Amino acid sequence: MVNFHLGFFALTTFIVLVCGASKNLPILSFDEGYSQLFGDDNLMVVKDGKSVHLTLDERTGSGFVSQDIYSQGFFSASIKLPADYTAGVVVAFYMSNGDMFQKNHDEVDFEFLGNVRGKDWRMQTNIYGNGSTNAGREERYGLWFDPSEDFHQYSILWTENQIIFYVDNVPIREFKRTATMGGDFPSKPMSLYATIWDGSDWATNGGKFRINYKYAPYIAKFSDLVLHGCAVDPTEQATKCDIAPKHDSIPTGITPEQRIRMQNFRKKHMQYSYCYDRARYTVPPAECVLDAKEAEGLRAFDPVTFGGVHRHRGKRHHRSRSSSSSQGEASST
């Protein structure tokens, strides 16, 4: 009974900390920080202008983009994903400068990949620098909650030397700049985007399960929108944030307690990481820091990709960007 009360207290404390952190963040209304990207009336602003619904139907998806571009900062949103049959649906919350740098763009992604009924959403993170799309740095995870039942906070901290992804104030991935990366670390100013779209060709089990529009409309709900970074003039092509924004609720890194949570999350919930993919990289990329417990968890999840077990020989195929993005999809459904 004592252990039950202690566990309940710890869980309650965690929930309060997460909710409190979200409410104390410098939240913007949609009109203060964003503009519609596409989708016509499939984008709807609600609740005093501080929440946005993005809809995907047979006509079109939808999306929005920040009005400013940023050189580093903290970017966050609370998101509630569509429920029921969502195979082929992709919801993305990401930073990019592809409109300005079409051949050498940078990108930092949260992508949420829908699934068939009875299967969980998967969450994917990815990082591109200087157009390095042929060396995508994907990681994919399960979640410890159903992201369609309630809002959860997803955040990106981008600094000169590191990128950290957070879910409900828990860091799930830390990506550090190394000398060997050169321009592959995202360093050019980027805009923030949120979109929902039809990714049937790759999102669920490599395209085996596609969107079924009889379950449409698919609605992704966004609230607690945070843009807290160094806004820059695009004509100046600034690449450094000289004045770091300060706010009590904005993280600046990973605390020791958070690092333990991150390690536990990655050991239990990570389903794919390019660093451990022996079929893709015989030698891990130089920025990878391998962890024995992560490797053990991935081998248990997919021994073919992560354990060095040889696949049966089949027809030779070429891997495109979309197919590399979906690496390991069959094992994650």
CA 22 to CA 97: how far, in whole Å? 27
Cβ atoms of residues 202 and 332 within 8 Å: no
Q: How far apart, in whole angstroms, are the C-alpha atoms of residue 2 and residue 50?
A: 42
Tokens of 48: 């005093």
Radius of gyration of the chain (CA): 20
Which is catalytic among the residues 32, 58, 111, 139? 111
Residue in 250, 137, 230 with CA at minimum distance from that of residue 188:
230
Residue type at 20 in one-letter notation: G
Q: Verify whether residue 296 is a known catalytic residue.
A: no
| DSSP bridge partners of 66 | 34
**Residue 214 burial (CB count, 10 A):** 7
- Among residues 58, 107, 160, 174, the one annotated as catalytic is 107
Residue 15 main-chain phi, psi, to 5 deg? -60, -45
The angle that helices 256-269 and 292-301 make with each other, rounded to 10 degrees, is 20
Task: Give yes or no: 111 in active site.
Answer: yes
Strand partners, 93: 110, 194
Residue 150 · residue 80 · CB < 8 Å: yes
End-to-end CA distance of the chain: 37
DSSP state of 312: P
Q: Residues with catalytic annotation?
A: 107, 111
